Amino acid sequence: MYDFAYHKPASIADAVALLAGDPEARPLAGGQTLIPVLKQRLNKPSKLIDLSGLGLNRISVSGNALSIGAMTPHATVANSADVQRAIPALAKLAGGIGDNQVRNRGTIGGSLANNDPAACYPAAVLGLGATVVTNKRRIAADDFFQGMFTTALEPGEIITEVVFPLPVEKAAYMKFAQPASRFALVGVFVAKGPAGVRVAVTGAGQNGVFRQREMEAALTARFAPDAIANIKTPPDQLNSDIHGSAEYRSHLITVMAKRAVAAAA
């Protein structure tokens, strides 16, 4: 690692001030991506701003919304009775992220801010029509994800919580995991709730997570696995790498989507 200064602010205002005062400063959430990058000397921040002291590790249900603080670890989401009651599919998704160490250190806010194209949480947030709340504003999921490792976050902007609309009538997530990393080679989150029927795909798109709108239309008409059995995502829109070709990912999207619909129904 290169040398850097370490700060652990006690308030969001202090964290924002530290970030705003130095364009080379970087926020630190769970560190599951940033720490390995620092070890490999692929990033040279002047400061690390530790967000763990901001009181953002929390889960609550109020009215028609489930709110999860940005610094809530995956394991906490998976084991939360509130999440299990409100959106069981979200709890199950969180319980399938990485390994035990990753689930206890990684956070929902860190995952969303990083927006890895194979991460699981973006599929849930987009599939459930959630809202990402920052220190400045509220950003709809459809506007938040803007490309591979790219989001609508501005410099110095910090995610504070994610709000999921309730009640969710049906939802399920199915992923074909890369066996070493447990990242999604293809993951599909299907939901029917306040935002309508939504199908979000992670791990496959050239620009990261995306909605499969043809499947959404078919499932709106009839929510059943065979309603989408013949819908294929064009391979020219998908990734091709050492783990799987674009054609293979196209096939997996349909398979995982059918399984998710069956589980949700």
Cα–Cα dist 232/215, whole Å: 9
* Average confidence score pLDDT of the chain: 96
pLDDT (tens, 9 = 90+) of the chain, 265 residues, equals: 789 999 999 999 999 999 998 999 999 999 999 999 999 998 899 999 999 999 999 999 999 999 999 999 999 999 999 999 999 999 999 999 999 999 999 999 999 999 999 999 999 999 999 999 999 999 999 999 999 999 999 999 999 999 999 999 999 999 999 988 889 999 999 999 999 999 999 999 999 999 999 999 999 999 999 999 999 999 999 999 999 999 999 999 999 999 999 999 8
Q: What domains are defined for the chain?
A: 1-53 (3.30.43.10), 170-264 (3.30.390.50)
Q: How far is CA 152 from the centre of its chain?
A: 14
Pairing of strands 210-211, 145-147: unpaired
Q: Residue 169 in contact with residue 159, Cβ under 8 Å?
A: no
